[in-house]
């Protein structure tokens, strides 16, 4: 059926998998790498030796060797249960997600969330820290490194480090390029900062892309737009199970597209252009406007708490912001036809006050077929959406044949 769905995102894997009607891996073709056997077991949860042989189509001796390698590396644990044909309980092999951790930091404009995640991408420990992204890479990444040091994850080894940033990422070089708001970060070598400090695989990803991956995996959907609505506005796109990055990593940057509803007076955006979507609907713009209206707000969080307390002016402005965002994504929805639009970021805490405007405009400006199964909802992962997606992407990279070779040499 289809190939390379949620097992691999954008990593150039040449392994092909066959999928049955229940969308599970049923056979491997053209490769006998140890990572294929691990992928089978990760996908099914637990398998006996015989099941691995049947599902993989590989010989018993090859499978014995692969299972021994993976067990010696601590990636598989033997669990009881399961009757063999002779009545003797046969060993089942399960993926040992506790073998190591991935440290992930989801950096936003005014703070970051750091987490230690297991090899299933589940956050085991996390903390949040306030910092201005404008203070530059040295200050921010020093704070991130210190935060990683405070996370408690026992004596598990660190196999991966994943950094999410609120700007376009040149994926192969793992650095930020021409970020509209991240002054001082342009082309800063984020990956080297961490490879100098950790003997681990390092990935750098746009924050909204990472959130889209988390939503796609969690809900097992292939076509997702994630909207990160915080100080700024960004969109992450996962289509056909793959991140859509675009040529320069700038795909999905809807915050700096032109707003369709504009005031008589042009509004200056923090990127320097006039009348961007962010200049109407970004957390920073709402804060500016409410402050100008005489309300006591100094942050996006203050805007959210005014809305939650039912302040009429704040509610009116956030509703209007929802319509601006809805207009901005309606074309995207028509062009790309997502199944899910997941909202995260501080402003998403305004719930229906914000979402009603988004829904209204998306439904107004698209044909019914496009919205017939479309869900527009707040992310159930909340503040952990970013770190979860970052960890999952890094785990994909860790279990690619090339990285596994390196890892097994070190741990076998
Ligand atoms: Zn702008």
Task: Report the separation in Å between the CA atom of 267 and the middle of ligand 1, taken as the mean of its atom positions.
Answer: 10
- Which stretches does DSSP call E strand in 20-75? 25-29, 46-48
Task: Report the separation in Å between the CA atom of 365 and the middle of ligand 1, taken as the mean of its atom positions.
Answer: 23
And the tokens for 149?
């040091």
Task: Report the separation in Å between the CA atom of 272 and the middle of ligand 1, taken as the mean of its atom positions.
Answer: 6
Task: Report the separation in Å between the CA atom of 40 and the middle of ligand 1, taken as the mean of its atom positions.
Answer: 45
Q: Does one domain contain both 149 and 202? A: yes
Task: Report the separation in Å between the CA atom of 35 and the middle of ligand 1, taken as the mean of its atom positions.
Answer: 43
pLDDT at residue 284, rounded to an integer: 96
The enclosing domain of 352 has a CATH number of: 3.30.420.40
Question: Does any domain span residue 252?
Answer: yes
Closest CA to 346 of 231, 234, 255, 204: 231
Judge contact between 120 and 394, C-beta under 8 A.
Answer: no
**DSSP per residue over 154-175, as a string?**
TT-EEEEEEEEESS-EETTTTE
Q: Does one domain contain both 335 and 236? A: yes
Q: Does one domain contain both 69 and 120? A: no
Question: Does any domain span residue 404?
Answer: yes
Q: Does one domain contain both 44 and 124? A: no
Question: pLDDT tens digits for 196-255?
Answer: 999 999 999 999 999 999 999 998 999 999 999 999 999 999 999 999 999 888 899 999
Task: Report the separation in Å between the CA atom of 320 and the middle of ligand 1, taken as the mean of its atom positions.
Answer: 18
List all residues 6 or more positions away from 367 whose beta carbon is below 8 Å from its beta carbon.
334
Among the residues of 337-400, which ranges form H helices? 352-364, 368-371, 385-398
Closest CA to 242 of 232, 254, 251: 251
List all residues 6 or more positions away from 406 whose beta carbon is below 8 Å from its beta carbon.
none
Task: Report the separation in Å between the CA atom of 190 and the middle of ligand 1, taken as the mean of its atom positions.
Answer: 24
Q: Does one domain contain both 37 and 56? A: yes
Per-residue burial over 308-318, b if 16 or more Cβ lie within 10 Å, else e, is eeebeebbebb
Task: Report the separation in Å between the CA atom of 274 and the middle of ligand 1, taken as the mean of its atom positions.
Answer: 7
Question: pLDDT tens digits for 23-45?
Answer: 555 444 445 688 989 999 999 98
Task: Report the separation in Å between the CA atom of 376 and the middle of ligand 1, taken as the mean of its atom positions.
Answer: 24
User: Which residues fall inside 5 Å of ion ligand 1, going by CB?
Assistant: 256, 269, 271, 273, 276
Phi, psi for 342 (deg, rounded to 5): -110, 125
Range of the domain at 197: 100-212+386-411
Q: Look at the chain and report how many structural domains it folds into.
A: 3
And the tokens for 344?
């995260």
Task: Report the separation in Å between the CA atom of 115 and the middle of ligand 1, taken as the mean of its atom positions.
Answer: 30
Q: Does one domain contain both 129 and 259? A: no
Question: Does any domain span residue 4?
Answer: no
Task: Report the separation in Å between the CA atom of 258 and the middle of ligand 1, taken as the mean of its atom positions.
Answer: 8
Instruction: List per-residue pLDDT tens for the chain, 412 residues long.
Output: 333 333 333 333 334 455 555 555 544 444 568 898 999 999 998 999 999 999 988 889 999 999 999 999 999 999 876 555 555 668 899 999 999 999 999 999 889 999 999 999 999 999 999 998 889 999 999 999 999 999 999 999 999 999 999 988 988 888 888 777 788 888 899 999 999 999 999 999 999 999 999 999 998 999 999 999 999 999 999 999 999 999 888 899 999 999 987 777 899 998 899 999 999 999 999 999 999 999 999 999 999 999 999 999 999 999 999 999 999 999 999 999 999 999 999 999 999 999 999 999 999 999 999 999 999 999 999 889 999 999 999 999 999 988 888 888 775 4
Task: Report the separation in Å between the CA atom of 345 and the middle of ligand 1, taken as the mean of its atom positions.
Answer: 18
Question: Does any domain span residue 11?
Answer: no
Task: Report the separation in Å between the CA atom of 317 and the middle of ligand 1, taken as the mean of its atom positions.
Answer: 19
Q: Does one domain contain both 142 and 290? A: no
């Amino acid at each position: 059926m289809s190939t390379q769905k949620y097992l691999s995102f954008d990593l150039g894997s040449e392994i092909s998998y066959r999928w049955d009607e229940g969308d599970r891996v049923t056979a491997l073709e053209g490769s006998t790498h140890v990572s294929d056997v691990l992928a089978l077991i990760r996908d099914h949860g637990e398998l006996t030796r015989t099941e691995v042989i049947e599902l993989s189509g590989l010989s018993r001796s090859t499978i014995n060797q692969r299972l021994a390698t993976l067990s010696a590396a601590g990636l598989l644990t033997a669990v009881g249960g399961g009757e063999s044909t002779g009545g003797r309980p046969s060993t089942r092999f399960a993926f040992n997600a506790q073998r190591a951790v991935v440290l992930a930091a989801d950096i936003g404009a005014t703070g970051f969330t750091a987490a230690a995640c297991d090899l299933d991408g589940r956050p085991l420990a996390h903390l949040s820290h306030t910092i201005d992204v404008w203070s530059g890479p040295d200050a921010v990444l020093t704070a991130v490194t210190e935060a990683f040091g405070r996370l408690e994850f026992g004596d598990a080894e660190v196999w991966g480090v994943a950094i999410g940033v609120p700007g376009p990422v040149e994926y192969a070089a793992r650095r930020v390029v021409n970020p509209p708001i991240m002054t001082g970060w342009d082309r800063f070598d984020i990956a080297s900062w961490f490879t100098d400090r950790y003997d681990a695989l390092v990935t750098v990803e746009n924050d909204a892309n990472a959130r889209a991956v988390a939503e796609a995996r969690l809900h097992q959907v292939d076509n997702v737009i994630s909207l990160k609505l915080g100080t700024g506005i960004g969109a992450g796109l996962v289509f056909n199970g793959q991140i859509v990055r675009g040529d320069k990593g700038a795909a999905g940057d809807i915050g700096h597209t032109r707003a369709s509803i504009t005031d008589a007076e042009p509004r200056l955006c923090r990127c320097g252009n006039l009348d961007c979507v962010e200049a109407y609907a970004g957390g920073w713009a709402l804060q500016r406007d409410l402050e100008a209206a005489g309300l006591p707000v100094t942050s996006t969080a203050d805007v959210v708490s005014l809305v939650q307390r039912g302040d009429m002016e704040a509610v009116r402005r956030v509703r209007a912001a929802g319509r601006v965002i809805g207009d901005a994504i309606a074309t995207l929805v028509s062009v790309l036809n997502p199944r899910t639009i997941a909202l995260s970021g501080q402003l998403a805490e305004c719930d229906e006050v914000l979402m009603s405007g988004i829904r209204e405009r998306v439904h107004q400006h698209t044909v019914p077929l496009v919205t017939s199964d479309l869900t527009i909802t707040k992310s159930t992962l909340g503040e952990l959406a970013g770190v979860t997606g970052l960890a999952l992407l890094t785990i994909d990279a860790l279990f690619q044949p090339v990285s596994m070779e390196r890892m097994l040499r070190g741990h076998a």
